[in-house]
Amino acid sequence: MTRPIAGRLPRAPALRRAAGRAGLDLAMVAIALVVLFPLLFALSTSLKTDVEVNQYPPSLWPHTIDLGNYVAALQQAPLARFLLNSFIQSGAVTLGQLVTASLAAFAFAFIQFPGRQALFFLFLATLMIPGEVTLIPNYLTIKALGWLNTYPALIAPFLATGFGTFLLRQFFLTIPRELADAAVIDGCSRRRFLWTIVIPLARPALATLGIYAFLATWNQYLWPLLVVNSTEMRTVQIGLALLQAQEAVSWGLVMAGVILIVLPTVLLFLLGYRHVVRGLTAGAVKG
């Protein structure tokens, strides 16, 4: 049957545009799959048995879900211990940076003192110094202190942050000065003003710094490689890399390890996407 629908037919350009949009939608899905493919394939392989991992041609999906690789990674590697070490290191560094950066940013934002500009510049200058330049002397310092293979070696060098101080200071400066003046008039000490007014107001900025610090510390590679060489003090990144460097490597086991070590940062990324983005773009936006 033919009904006169010509009037409702979309005109050709509109049709073309709709087709173009659908094509673009499809392309976006395909691109997402390509970008995520290495991770998805690693996840799928971590669930295969050893026999299937080494099968040729490789299979995209595991025929049977097998958690053996995860058990082996946690116990034999021993990734469980590495995870604990990394949590202790990253947790302590994050907490430490939040405290030292809050204190320093508070001084820069709320106290008028001689040499403020120069000191602030000094803090920013730490961002210009690549870690490689301080690597050898720091290693020698840690060795001289007898700190090799200890948590302090993994934590102490990172307890201050020029970036974090800058980030928090920028946020503190948006807190109205009248609030500070009012607090002083009310007989509120500087310390109480910081803890009861500034810190609660700055929670979003603190979250940004905290997530950024945790991600950066968790993913460290060169420094933990240098200052730790005993199995029980290793962090996850090094522990897993050395596991792979052994002969007769089981790729299924290594991929299970990869999934385990990216899990905490992936969770942080998914839950705190806004903060991750803000931390990364702070430099680009503020110039």
Within 205-264, the residues that bind other proteins by CB under 8 A are 215, 218-219, 221-222, 225-226, 237-238, 240-241, 244-245, 251, 254-255, 257-258, 261-262
Q: Least distance to other proteins from the beta carbon of 232, Å?
A: 19
CA-to-CA distance for 163 and 263, rounded, in angstroms?
26
Sign of CA dihedral 255, 78, 245, 69: negative
Which one of the spans 63-71, 127-135, 171-179, 197-205 is the region binding other proteins (CB under 8 A)?
A: 127-135
Q: Which is nearer to other proteins, 87 or 269 (CB)?
A: 269
Per CB under 8 A, the list member of 160, 197, 199, 207 interacting with other proteins is: 160
Q: Which is nearer to other proteins, 56 or 178 (CB)?
A: 56
Within 135-154, the residues that bind other proteins by CB under 8 A are 135-141, 143
Asked if 74 is part of the footprint of other proteins (rule: CB under 8 A), the reply reads: no
Per CB under 8 A, the list member of 1, 5, 12, 24 interacting with other proteins is: 24
Q: Least distance to other proteins from the beta carbon of 146, Å?
A: 14
Q: Least distance to other proteins from the beta carbon of 3, Å?
A: 32
Asked if 116 is part of the footprint of other proteins (rule: CB under 8 A), the reply reads: yes
